[in-house]
């Protein structure tokens, strides 16, 4: 299938096992065993074991959004914890704190919160 070989917004579609489509609204606790793309609206707890992509029309409202890494083009209201990497595109809107090791913010992105960079504890430094 053509879409399995396509790369969109920095993510390889072959690795996304859950898609929340545009127009979909979900309320409640969301637990995803792998990577996810959100183009709809989610309100409630959010946890993904893999990568999180929020498309330009996607929105997540949760006290805490947890994933391994994130590519945000849409809106997040709540704290984002992604130990590996967070990339905010020029259309991203994040209202909450971000905890990650690598943070990329493109010009035009809106980020209203604090950022905390994780540090390797093996080096004797705090998290």
Q: How far is CA 58 from CA 24, 25, 50, 125, in A?
A: 10, 10, 18, 36
Nearest to 95 by CA among 59, 69, 68: 59
Which residue in this structure is represented by tokens 């498309």? Answer: 55
Domain spans, the chain: 2-115
What is the pLDDT tens value at each position of the chain, 127 positions in all? 333 333 344 444 457 889 999 999 999 999 999 999 999 999 999 999 999 999 999 999 999 999 999 999 999 999 999 999 999 999 999 999 999 999 999 999 999 999 999 755 444 444 4
């Amino acid at each position: 299938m053509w879409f399995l070989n396509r790369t969109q917004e920095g993510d390889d579609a072959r690795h996304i096992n859950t898609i929340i489509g545009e127009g979909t609204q979900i309320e409640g606790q969301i637990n995803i065993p792998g990577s996810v793309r959100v183009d709809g609206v989610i309100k409630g707890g959010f946890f993904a074991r893999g990568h999180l992509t929020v498309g330009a029309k996607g929105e997540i409202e949760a006290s805490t959004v947890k994933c391994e890494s994130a590519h945000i083009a849409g809106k997040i209201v709540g704290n984002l914890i992604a130990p590996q990497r967070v990339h905010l595109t020029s259309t991203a809107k994040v209202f909450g704190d971000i905890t990650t090791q690598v943070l990329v913010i493109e010009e035009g992105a809106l980020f209203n919160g604090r950022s905390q960079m994780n540090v390797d504890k093996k080096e004797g430094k705090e998290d």
